[in-house]
Chains A and B, each alone.
Chain A
Amino acid sequence: MTELMLPELGHYALILALVMALVQAVVPLLGAQLKMTGWMSYGTPMVWGQFFFVSVSLFMLGYAFVTDDFSVAYVASNSNTQLPTPYKISAVWGGHEGSLLLWVWILAAWSFAVTLFSRSLPEDMLARVVAVLGMVSVGFLSFVLHTSNPFNRILPQIPREGSDLNPLLQDFGLIVHPPMLYMGYVGFSVAFAFAIAALISGRLDTAWARWSRPWTSVAWAFLTLGIALGSWWAYYELGWGGWWFWDPVENASLMPWLVGTALMHSLAVTEKRGVFKNWTVLLAIFAFSLSLLGTFLVRSGVLTSVHAFATDPERGYYILALLAITIGGSFVLYALRAPDIKAKVRFTWMSREAFLLVNNIMLVIVMATVLLGTIYPLILDALGLGKISVGPPYFNALFVPLMSILAVFMGLGPASRWKNTERSTLIKRVWLSAAISVVAGAALPFIMGGKWNGYVFLGMMLALWIFLTQMRDIADKLKHKGWNVKGLMSLGRSYWGMVLGHVGAVITVVGMTLVANYTQELDARMLPGSKVTMGEFQFELTDIRHVDGPNWTAEQSEIRIWEGDKLVSVLYPQKRRYTARNQVMTEASIDWGLFRDLYVAMGEPLEGGAWAVRVQHKPFVRWLWIGGVVMTLGGLLAAFDKRYRQKAMRQAGVTVQATESENKDTGAVTGASA
């Protein structure tokens, strides 16, 4: 009998978590304002308690899935007794209610991490940060409890069978993609909390930037990985080999990423040089607001995609209200405090500060164009001015040139110095890289495609440019430090994080350029025994047979791929029918490699036993995601730079009076110094 009460226990735990979040949002903040240590110390225990109870809640939902408790409405509509167990667990975040519970849990986990790793933070700062995180938590916990309770029961008529998880989501990519993406989205709440706490206290100094930096880097790393996983999943699971569709939901994740990237760089300037403080705070507010906007777009049902679930206007309004409060409140606070923030440090237009400022401006402009293209149809629709859609050509036409300008500055940034760079020094450092990238970039279209292609030239030239200037910078540094392991180590994790981040971007640019320009694709009508030729490959359909899976049945073809007389690969694409929902799914089959993928998917049955089959040759497509993984590693490496811990320990002893002079002593350690 006790077992039957478990979902109610999960629900109850969620209510307790909300109560604790309320205390966490109010008491420590009051304590910090009134300078009462006792009140401030409420923060940490509340965070821990909240984390514990949300964990209990998440566990109860998972338990309901694993034990097929179809009396829980959410389980009944997203699971099935035939569903393999790993998918039962990932089904926890396969629908609206559960994915929001995951959102709240990740927020609680980030808050928990903040209390663990920021013990050296001044007490009042920690209290304010924790309080801001508590406010966000209150908003989302009450959202879950009011509009999206995953523990609602279907009583007394308990269904005997669940209606199964959407087959598209029954996949490894979907087990890991949402948690990674949410780690990124929600992670920006920490940077946001630091920014708001600094605004409240009025202490917007380099110490604040140093505290925020590792958190921002980690959140950015997870967001990068989440986006890469989403793109990879779309590539093989949506069935047709596309990797980015400019779908509003993809844009919703790209926008915080763009601003997050700007924030990381701006924080570096604020920490090192004490400038751009206003701007950095604004970016932190933007990054989190865009994460919320993303959640709104995806969860409110205004968009139509795999991520949009049953439309319920109340949910949309609720998130919209949360968004309005967050953005409105933050900007009021910003408007009150920002005029007091002054920087005394000067720099010229040939300095690293200036180049990073250009980087920031470009990233924000790109974000604004993506935002416009994403919400313009929504606004027109809301005003009753007609139903339109903005096509991918709009995004491509703006994204490519703007990011190209950014890429030029990505090469100049590491080659320049803080404050001022002599023009001759800069030219001396980059001219060779520039010359090689132009010449090699111009030659590559002929080598790879046999004829001129402006896009390939542009993409490869910029990739080479970023790569070569970065390598040159490493070489210059090692000249002084010595060409050995000790020299390499002495550059610091922060520096290597930046190198990996930039090299990852290079790898992704190469992948995008080549796959977008040199993909070959063919739709063919094929019978067993028929053969089609595409480029140097022949695809032979040898067999079609019926196969059965745990919760699906499928038609499976055997396709042999020949290159001349050599058998390259045998692929088994399937057309599946998931029995519970009677839904048809294309399972593509891919022969993957570092330099090319061969992609085969079954279309639909035609007359006389024939099938429509799509075959594709995709050069360098893996580079897209490898680049994403390298960028992720870069972000993580930068976050675990030793100096964050050393600094923290040193500060624990002293009263924190961070001033402009403080940034001088950090310059020597990190790669950001020239």
Chain B
Amino acid sequence: MNPKRKKKLILVSAMVAAVGIAVGLVLYALSENINLFYTPTQIADGEAPIGQRIRAGGMVVDGSVKRAPDSLQVQFAVTDYKHEVVVSYTGILPDLFREGQGIVTMGAMDDKGIFQAVEVLAKHDENYMPPEVEAALKASGKTAADYQK
């Protein structure tokens, strides 16, 4: 092999190696940081993993929001009109958080079946419905009218 070709070969192999490492890192970073969405029905059926970062969401149940008297801890339930999940969160809720509103939260299930949220996602428009929640409602096949306690 002449020196010029050899140089080219080294260069090309180096580039292939660099791209390989980059792709590996990207896929690793991606797999570590993907957050799957679970509907209240899926959570009630025990499909959601415990202790792993996931997203959950649904309509905030009327009358379910309870603030702790002396801290910023708050608890509420979300529903797809078939099942409910209790969400616990400490902090300030977004401006558009309201009972009867569709919301998405990020967090993890604890072993008591309560969703420990670290983030309640804020949306910017009061008519807005998160697509995940819309799909969850469609999947449950129930509407607010079916859901009278």
* Chain A residues within 8 Å of B, Cβ to Cβ: 166, 168, 238-240, 304-306, 365, 369, 372-373, 376, 386-391, 393-394, 397-398, 523-525, 581-586, 603-604, 606-608, 612, 614
Contacts and interface: CB of A to CB of B under 8 A. Distances in A.
Contact of B67 (A238, A581, A607): A607
Nearest to B57: A387
6 tightest A-B CB contacts, nearest first: A603-B92, A394-B33, A306-B124, A387-B37, A397-B29, A584-B95
A525 B70 contact: yes
A557 to B, nearest CB: 14
Nearest to A585: B95
A372 B37 contact: no
Interface string B79-117: 000000000000111011000000000100000000000
Interface residues of B, number: 34
Given A387-B135, A394-B29, A584-B95, A525 B71 contact: yes
A523 B70 contact: no
Contacts of A389: 34-35, 37, 55
Contact of A373 (B30, B55, B95, B124): B30
11 contacts: A166-B125, A305-B124, A387-B37, A388-B37, A390-B33, A393-B33, A394-B30, A394-B34, A398-B29, A525-B72, A607-B67
A365 B30 contact: no
A386 B37 contact: yes
A330 B96 CA distance: 44
B92 A604 contact: yes
B32 interface: yes
Contact of B36 (A238, A388, A608): A388
Contacts of A388: 34-37
B134 to A, nearest CB: 10
Nearest to B129: A304
A523 B128 CA distance: 27
A614 B92 contact: yes
Nearest to B26: A369
Contacts of A583: 95-96, 126
Contacts of B35: 388-391
Contacts of A387: 36-37, 131-132, 135
A584 B71 contact: no
B115 to A, nearest CB: 16
A582 B96 CA distance: 10
Contacts of A607: 67, 69
A614 B95 CA distance: 14
B22 A365 contact: yes
Nearest to A380: B34
Given A391-B34, A391-B106, 10 more contacts: A238-B122, A386-B37, A387-B132, A393-B29, A394-B33, A398-B29, A523-B92, A583-B95, A586-B95, A607-B67
Given A305-B124, A398-B25, A607-B69, A612 B92 contact: yes
A274 B34 CA distance: 44
Nearest to B97: A604
A597 to B, nearest CB: 19
B26 to A, nearest CB: 6
Contacts of B123: 304
B32 A523 contact: no
A239 B97 CA distance: 14
B95 A372 contact: no
B30 A393 contact: no
A582 B98 CA distance: 12
Nearest to A581: B126
A567 to B, nearest CB: 26
B79 to A, nearest CB: 18
A331 B20 CA distance: 26
Contact of B32 (A239, A372, A393, A584): A393
Contacts of A376: 30
Interface in B11-25: 22, 25
B123 to A, nearest CB: 7
A387 B36 CA distance: 6
B37 to A, nearest CB: 4
Nearest to B25: A398
Contacts of B29: 393-394, 397-398
A523 B72 contact: yes
B71 A372 contact: no
A606 B130 CA distance: 27
A12 B50 CA distance: 60
Contact of B30 (A372, A523, A581): A372
B29 to A, nearest CB: 4
Contacts of B22: 365
A581 B126 CA distance: 8
B47 to A, nearest CB: 12
Contacts of B34: 388-391, 394
B91 A523 contact: yes
A218 B70 CA distance: 55
A251 to B, nearest CB: 14
A394 B67 contact: no
Interface string B128-149: 1011100100000000000000
A284 B35 CA distance: 35
Nearest to B90: A523
A390 B27 CA distance: 12
Nearest to A607: B69
A365 B92 CA distance: 37
A428 to B, nearest CB: 27
Nearest to A349: B11
A523 B89 CA distance: 13
Contacts of B69: 607-608
A386 B42 CA distance: 13
A614 B128 CA distance: 26
Contact of B96 (A398, A584, A614): A584
Interface string B40-68: 00000000000001010000000000010
Nearest to A239: B95
B30 A166 contact: no
Interface-centre pick from B53, B91, B95 (highest chain A CB count, 10 A): B95
A581 B93 CA distance: 19
Given A166-B125, A606-B67, A612 B95 contact: no
